[in-house]
Amino acid sequence: MVDVAREEIDRLRASVRAAPADANAVRDEIDRLPDRIVERLAARSASAYPAVINATGVILHTNLGRAPLQQPAPESLASYLALEYDLGEGRRGQRLEPIQARLAEVVGAEAAVMVNNNAAAVLLTLAAHAGGREVVVSRGQLIEIGGSFRLPDVMEASGAHLVEVGCTNRTHLDDYAAAVGESTAAILVAHPSNYRIVGFSVQPALRDVAELCRRHGIPLLMDQGSGALHDLGRWGLPPEPTVSELLEQGADVVCCSGDKLLGGPQAGLITGGSRWVAPLQRHPLLRALRPDKTALAWMDRVLDAHRRGALDEIPVYRLLGTPTATLKRRARRLARRLQSNGVPAQAVATEAALGGGTTPDATVPSWGLALPGDARLARELRESSPHVVARLSDDRLLVDLRTVFRDQLGPLEAALQRTYHGIHDSQDVGA
């Protein structure tokens, strides 16, 4: 407290020295000092990762934590838990076995592994099966995902050597066949999750690449990315291959993220045939990449919801599945209430997106509010309590309701009203 008080007093002294003011103005500043100091102290103990209302319409927003976690938190996290303990025998058990069994069951695979994130999943898979040897990848699939995942770099870190084949827009089965030789350890197919190559483009069918791998006795590794387990057509989105489909089409190992379309905590999930997945379960790197108890407990619940088909228990699917008519009703009601309080908000149809590097060119129909506003309104909303992240489009602030949970509508309305009046009332006084 003393440090903050001294800093505020020094700041005031410096500002008076820099631009001498009259005695009354200085006295006002001194009167405001205690409030300033209290504000600074409160800001210091604020959460480093505060909750925000996501009004961007991007469902899997990587900067806002991707998939929101199911609530309440798993009960076992409030106390000790049987994390790697065999309750029947009363001795040390296996940490990853239970989650691996559950994951394998949900996607219909022989075996599975869970690690910290998908980057770790790809790293472990390559290190175990291709360290010091060659991995063949199409030039159209040398992907970079936000947050510094670059396939060629991960490959280098794993010790595998990248062999590029084909062209950016076209790779043929013959290109793969010509590149596979004595020192080839695997073919890696990466799902181009955050971009599309359209027009004169082609990639061979996965089944054909799988057949080529089988003839050479090498594994077909797949970086699927999104963790889609269900046909996205159910929500009017373009198809994204599910983990089970890729396994069925002949991928030997499929890697994906846990916090994208799977709707769970940050994790990397590896599934496939025992021949290629079992060595990962014994690999020394796994100890360095193993998930913590919070991720395991949450993943267990999310997988159970997928297994039961209870998708409405998973926040991502609740948001995705909210009927557009419901969002329209909410937007109109919010707009009416704000207007009657002097905020010129209008209900508008918007386009939300899945985000998280999935279905890059598809949108999800949505509704929201448009307010006349600029960067200042957007910033003050971000800094308000609760924090509201919206987007600017032309001269309007767009508040998309696709990503706002129902119990956030009241706090959202209050924040919009307070912030809008905070700016406009002070401007009126100034004029």
Ligand X SMILES: *Cc1c(COP(=O)(O)O)cnc(C)c1O
Using alpha carbons, select from 171, 176, 193 the residue that is nearest to residue 246.
Answer: 193
Q: How far apart are alpha carbons 352 and 332 in whole angstroms?
A: 17
- Which DSSP string corresponds to 255-307? EEESSSTT-SSS-EEEEE-HHHHHHHHT-THHHHH---HHHHHHHHHHHHHHH
Residue 200 CB, nearest approach to ligand X (Å): 23
The smaller minimum CB distance to ligand X, of residues 226 and 322, is found at 226
Residue 9 CB, nearest approach to ligand X (Å): 46
Residue 357 CB, nearest approach to ligand X (Å): 4
* 115: enclosing H helix or E strand: strand 111-115
The smaller minimum CB distance to ligand X, of residues 67 and 163, is found at 67
Q: How far from each other are the two terminal CA atoms of the chain, in whole angstroms?
A: 38
The smaller minimum CB distance to ligand X, of residues 144 and 211, is found at 144
* 345: enclosing H helix or E strand: none
Query: Is residue 254 involved in binding ligand X (CB under 6 A)?
Result: no
Residue 148 CB, nearest approach to ligand X (Å): 10
Whether residue 251 contacts residue 189, with contact meaning beta carbons closer than 8 Å, is answered with yes
Span of 101-109, 112-120, 309-317, 362-370 interacting with ligand X by CB under 6 A:
112-120
Query: Is residue 398 involved in binding ligand X (CB under 6 A)?
Result: no
Query: Is residue 61 involved in binding ligand X (CB under 6 A)?
Result: no
Query: Is residue 191 involved in binding ligand X (CB under 6 A)?
Result: yes
Q: How far apart are alpha carbons 298 and 312 in whole angstroms?
A: 16
Out of 70, 100, 117, 125, name the contact with ligand X by CB under 6 A.
117
Site string for ligand X, 255-284 (x = CB under 6 A): --x----------x----------------
Site for ligand X in 221-240 (CB under 6 A): 223, 225-226
Site for ligand X in 314-343 (CB under 6 A): none
Query: Is residue 190 involved in binding ligand X (CB under 6 A)?
Result: yes
Q: How far apart are alpha carbons 196 and 216 in whole angstroms?
A: 30
For 260, half-sphere exposure in the C-beta direction (CA atoms, 13 angstrom radius) is 27
Residue 218 per-residue DSSP state: -
Query: Is residue 298 involved in binding ligand X (CB under 6 A)?
Result: no
Q: How far apart are alpha carbons 39 and 44 in whole angstroms?
A: 9
Query: Is residue 241 involved in binding ligand X (CB under 6 A)?
Result: no
Using alpha carbons, select from 405, 224, 387 the residue that is nearest to residue 316.
Answer: 405
Out of 149, 298, 317, 367, name the contact with ligand X by CB under 6 A.
149
Span of 116-124, 195-203, 302-310, 377-385 interacting with ligand X by CB under 6 A:
116-124
At 393, phi and psi to the nearest 5? -140, 120
Residue 68 CB, nearest approach to ligand X (Å): 16
Out of 357, 366, 389, 402, name the contact with ligand X by CB under 6 A.
357
Out of 70, 100, 118, 281, name the contact with ligand X by CB under 6 A.
118
Residue 145 CB, nearest approach to ligand X (Å): 4
Number of residues that bind ligand X (CB under 6 A): 16
Q: How far apart are alpha carbons 274 and 49 in whole angstroms?
A: 40
The smaller minimum CB distance to ligand X, of residues 244 and 384, is found at 244
Whether residue 142 contacts residue 136, with contact meaning beta carbons closer than 8 Å, is answered with no
Q: How far apart are alpha carbons 396 and 420 in whole angstroms?
A: 13
Residue 147 CB, nearest approach to ligand X (Å): 6
Residue 413 CB, nearest approach to ligand X (Å): 34
Residue 370 CB, nearest approach to ligand X (Å): 31
Sheet holding 111-115, edge to edge: 111-115, 268-272, 253-257, 220-225, 184-190, 134-138, 161-165
The smaller minimum CB distance to ligand X, of residues 209 and 371, is found at 209
Q: How far apart are alpha carbons 252 and 219 in whole angstroms?
A: 6
Span of 142-150, 197-205, 287-295, 367-375 interacting with ligand X by CB under 6 A:
142-150
For ligand X, the binding residues (CB under 6 A) are: 117-119, 143, 145, 147, 149, 190-191, 193, 223, 225-226, 257, 268, 357
